């Protein structure tokens, strides 16, 4: 079986709820986020995943991703990995898109990047590192991480530029699967929040 990447975005935080760019600021989950993580874990314990026996698990070291991983029931199998940290938003950390556009009306993160932060090429390089690890052995992997990083990972899995991530949004506590179709990298499932009801 060709390896797949199962992507779990962390649960809801105060900043994700308000739309603030949350890169390296270590924001905790809201009760809603903890509840969503529990529901995600319950989903992965049942068909067709059956607790994902043999899956290798990694998580961003940031609290919101680690806590989602732990509540979902995978904390004892997970290894922290800095490559899964969120986009470093630099000077735009903690700002909403509306606040940024008040200063830069035509701004788009996927085209213009951020001052004093990470470049699109740098986040793409981290996504490529995750993909190389996922494809390095004959087993599925499960990662708990963040919206923008996971969107770039989806784009890079397909062999596309990181800017393609602008076209594939992700909600908190969503489940996505990057797999294969006819021997080519494909998106099997994207932004699935069915477990949240």
pTM of the model: 0.96
Enter the tokens of residue 16.
């994700």
* Domains: count for the chain: 1
The CATH number linked to 188 is 3.40.50.1240
Output the pLDDT for position 181. Answer: 95
3-state DSSP percent of the chain in helix, strand and coil, to 5: 45, 20, 40
Phi, psi of 136, rounded to the nearest 5 degrees: -80, -10
Nearest to 6 by CA among 195, 178, 172: 178
pLDDT of residue 1: 54
Instruction: Give the active site residues.
Output: 10, 86
pLDDT of res. 70:
98
pLDDT score of 62? 98
Q: What totals of helices (H) and strands (E) does the chain contain, helices first?
A: 7, 6
Provide the residue range defining the domain that includes 14: 5-196
Cα 153 to Cα 71, 86, 103, 149, 163: the distances in Å are: 23, 11, 29, 6, 11
Per-residue pLDDT of the chain (197 residues; tens, 9 = 90+): 579 999 999 999 999 999 999 999 999 999 999 999 999 999 999 999 999 999 999 999 999 999 999 999 999 999 999 999 999 999 999 999 999 999 999 999 999 999 999 999 999 999 999 999 999 989 999 999 999 999 999 999 999 999 999 999 999 999 999 999 999 999 999 999 999 98
User: Which one-letter DSSP state was computed for residue 57?
Assistant: E
Residue 197 confidence (pLDDT): 86
> Alpha helices, DSSP H only, in the chain?
14-18, 31-45, 63-72, 97-103, 109-112, 120-134, 147-157
């Amino acid at each position: 079986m060709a390896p797949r990447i199962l992507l779990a975005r962390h649960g809801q935080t105060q900043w994700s709820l308000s739309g603030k760019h949350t890169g390296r600021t270590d924001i905790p989950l809201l009760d809603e986020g903890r509840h969503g993580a529990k529901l995600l874990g319950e989903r992965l314990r049942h068909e067709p995943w059956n607790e994902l026996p043999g899956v290798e698990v990694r998580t961003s070291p940031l609290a919101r991703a680690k806590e989602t991983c732990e509540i979902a029931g995978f904390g004892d199998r997970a290894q922290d990995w800095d490559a899964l940290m969120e986009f470093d938003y630099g000077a735009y950390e903690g700002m909403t898109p509306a606040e940024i556009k008040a200063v830069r009306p035509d701004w788009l993160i996927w085209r213009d990047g951020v001052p004093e932060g990470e470049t699109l090429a740098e986040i793409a390089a981290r996504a490529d590192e995750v993909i190389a690890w996922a494809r390095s052995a004959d087993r599925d992997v499960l990662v708990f991480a963040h919206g923008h990083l996971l969107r770039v990972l989806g784009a890079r899995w397909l062999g596309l530029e990181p800017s393609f991530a602008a076209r594939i949004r992700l909600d908190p506590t969503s489940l996505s699967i990057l797999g294969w179709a006819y021997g080519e990298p494909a998106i099997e499932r994207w932004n699935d929040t069915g477990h949240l009801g």
